[in-house]
Each structure stands twice: as structure tokens, then as C-alpha cells.
Amino acid sequence: MTTVSNATASTAKTTSATDSKARIADNFDQFLQLLTTQLKNQSPLDPLDTNQFTQQLVQFASVEQQIKTNDNLAALLVSNKTATLTNALSFVGSRVTADGTTSALKDGKATWQINAPRAGTMAYVVTDKSGNQLFSGTRTVTAGDQTLIWDGRMSNGQTAPAGDYTITVAAKDANGQSMTVKSEVSGTVESVDVTGSEPVLKIGGVLIPMSKVKSVAR
């Protein structure tokens, strides 16, 4: 449904741009015809004023330049979109790390990369796609990057099925002051969705906008 909607929107934009270009071209032709007719039918006793003629020639050149500029801009947009798509597809098969709080539970573990500004204590909650709280825990953190691994075991002792899970973090430093702990996710890109305004990488069931990617490795 999304693909059809995006295709329809894209077609509408293309049609609108084509119509605008056609209107400019029509105006350009009409302007040229009017100018030629005016020159042919001017009175020998009262010829076209030189200043007016010069102004009309300037307008003529401006319209022609506008048409060429629009053509060049359209070509640049197409070229830029093609380059973006090609770049996005090159991510398939690569391992990426990106800003995010959702990670896939696979082979008995879900992994998040976290970064704390200072040493302290962190409380975290793991929830499923529906927002149900499955597990909560605490751990000490050091300043800098570190790894948080959840083995899929829920608070009731059962093991969560494979899927996507999200963490919510609250942390305090050694002085009891609240601090922000950033989280990242990593994994191998399986496919790329290019139907939207920005390519989206798919890692398991996790969707990551390309602008959120921080590192790429083969």
C-alpha cells in the first residue's frame, strides 16, 4: 500500500513539473510571437521605443534562461536521487551501527551499544512491540562505550520469542545526578526500503533511516 501511494505521489509530482514546464514554454512561444508581430506591424512614423524594445529583449532572455535553469535543476535532482539509491543499496550485507533503542533478539540475545558520559548506575526496561514490559534490570556503567546484552529471559522466568525489543534507560552518576545514556543498535543489513523520502535499512525487523547510521563494516 505504501509503495502504491509513494508511486502515485511521485507520478503526481512528475506530472505537475511537466505541466509547469509546458506552461512556461507556451508563454515563451506566445511572447516571441507577440514581439515578432509588434516589430512587423510597427508604424514607420511611430516606431517602437528603443528602451521598451530593450526591456522586452531582456524579458525574452530571462524567460529562455528560466526554462534552461528548470531543465538543469530537474536533471540534477534525478542524478542526486540515483546516487542516493545506489549508495543505499551498497549497505546490503554490511554490518552497521546506528542510533536507536530497538534491537532484534536473535540466537538468544539482543544487543545494544550504550554510551554514558560518566560512571554511575543505569536502570533499564525491555518492552515488546506492543509496549508490554518484559524485563527490568540495573547495572553499573562506566564513562564511554559499553555493551548491554539481554538474553531474552523475561521477569516471569520464561524466554521471549525472537523479535524486536526496545529498551528505556534511566541513569544517575556517582553523585546521584541524572545523566543521559545514549543507545545504539548494530547488525547486518538485509534489505533497503527506498520508497520513502529517505532510504531505510532493514536489520532483522528493525528499520533504521540511513541518516542514523554511524559506522559501516564489511
Q: Is residue 198 part of a domain?
A: no
Q: Is residue 199 part of a domain?
A: no
Question: Same domain for 28 and 10?
Answer: yes
Confidence category of residue 78, pLDDT binned at 50, 70, 90: low
Question: Same domain for 83 and 142?
Answer: no
Q: Is residue 115 part of a domain?
A: yes
Question: Same domain for 104 and 165?
Answer: yes
**Cell 545523566 appears where?**
179
Q: pLDDT > 70: what percent of the chain? A: 69
Question: CA separation (Å) from 90 to 104, 193, 198?
Answer: 22, 12, 15
Count Cα atoms within 13 angstroms, Cβ side, for 63. Answer: 18
Domain count of the fold of the chain: 2
Domain that residue 12 falls in: 2-89
pTM of the model: 0.55
Confidence category of residue 9, pLDDT binned at 50, 70, 90: very low
Q: Is residue 194 part of a domain?
A: no
The answer to whether residue 210 scores a pLDDT higher than 70 is yes
Give the model confidence (pLDDT) of 164-194 as tens digits.
Answer: 899 999 999 999 999 999 998 888 888 888 7
Lowest-confidence segment of 86-90, 153-157, 160-164, 177-181 by average pLDDT: 86-90
Query: 90 near 172, Cβ under 8 Å?
Result: no
pLDDT computed for residue 193 by the predictor: 83
Q: Is residue 195 part of a domain?
A: no
CA distance 142 to 173: 9
Question: Same domain for 62 and 122?
Answer: no
Nearest to 112 by CA among 163, 179, 167: 167
pLDDT computed for residue 117 by the predictor: 94
Q: Which CATH number do you get for residue 159? A: 2.60.40.4070
- Mean pLDDT, all residues of the chain: 78
Question: Same domain for 177 and 116?
Answer: yes
Strands 133-141 and 120-127: antiparallel
pLDDT computed for residue 1 by the predictor: 36
Question: Same domain for 65 and 127?
Answer: no
DSSP run (H or E) holding 215: strand 213-217
Lowest-confidence segment of 62-66, 114-118, 202-206, 213-217 by average pLDDT: 62-66
Last residue of a domain, one of 89, 120, 149: 89
The radius of gyration of the chain's CA atoms, rounded to the nearest angstrom, is 30
Q: Is residue 164 part of a domain?
A: yes
Greater confidence (48 vs 209) lies with 209
Q: Is residue 26 part of a domain?
A: yes
Nearest to 68 by CA among 108, 104, 11, 28: 28
Question: Same domain for 140 and 182?
Answer: yes
Question: Same domain for 117 and 155?
Answer: yes
The answer to whether residue 11 scores a pLDDT higher than 50 is no
CA distance 129 to 77: 37
Q: Is residue 213 part of a domain?
A: no
* Cα 84 to chain centroid, rounded: 10
Question: Same domain for 83 and 107?
Answer: no
The answer to whether residue 17 scores a pLDDT higher than 80 is no
**Cell numbers at residue 14, please?**
512528475
**Cell 513539473 appears where?**
17
Question: Same domain for 124 and 71?
Answer: no
pLDDT computed for residue 198 by the predictor: 80
Nearest to 186 by CA among 159, 154, 212, 163: 212
